Structure 1
Amino acid sequence: MIDFKALIKAIVEPLVSHPEAIDIDQTETDRFYEYHLTVDPADVGRVIGKQGHVAQAIRTVVYSSRVDGNKRVRLIINDGPAKTLE
């Protein structure tokens, strides 16, 4: 299977001002391999783009990659404040 973390990072890294703040977490459900992308709050707009066009282009590239089995890939861009566990 393709290394989706590396693929997402390769696409997003040139877009952001703070590449060190890129964080990609993977979770797996019954139907999906979910990748949660978190970037610096100042870079969220760059990753999403006007009317979501950049985010849609990123998803198009990621979703077009082949996955073994019946599961699909889902990219979730976290655009809210970072969650903290208390």
Structure 2
Amino acid sequence: MVDITKLIEVIVKPMCSYPEKFKLKQHESDKFMEFDLSLDPEDVGRIIGRQGRVVQAIRNIVYAAKTDYGKRVRLNIN
């Protein structure tokens, strides 16, 4: 099984201009294992990309990974 936290970190952190401000919090809801990503405001636009294409590609990779949780994964950017 894949560690989703590490997967998100490996994908997103190299894209950031301020990797020291990268924070990832994990919490659980009824149907989802949610990951809240906090970044420097300057990096948010880079991660979202034009028309949300970059973040959609990241989410596709993260959502496709097999997890131990038995729940769906959700990635939120704060």
Alpha-carbon displacement from aligned partner over 1:7-38 (angstroms, at most 9, x marks no partner): 10100011110011100000101111000001
**Higher deviation after alignment, 21-30 or 61-70:** 61-70
Q: CA deviation at 1:68?
A: 3.0
Match of 1:56 in 2: 56
Instruction: For 2:72, give the aligned amino acid.
Output: R
Find the structure with the greater CA-based Rg.
Answer: 1
Match of 2:75 in 1: 75
TM-score by structure 2 length? 0.93
Query: Cα RMSD between the aligned structures?
Result: 1.1
TM-score by structure 1 length? 0.85
Greater share of helix: 2
Identity, in percent, stands at 53
Aligned to 2:44, the other structure's residue is in SS state: helix
Match of 1:31 in 2: 31
Unaligned runs of 5+ in 1: 79-86
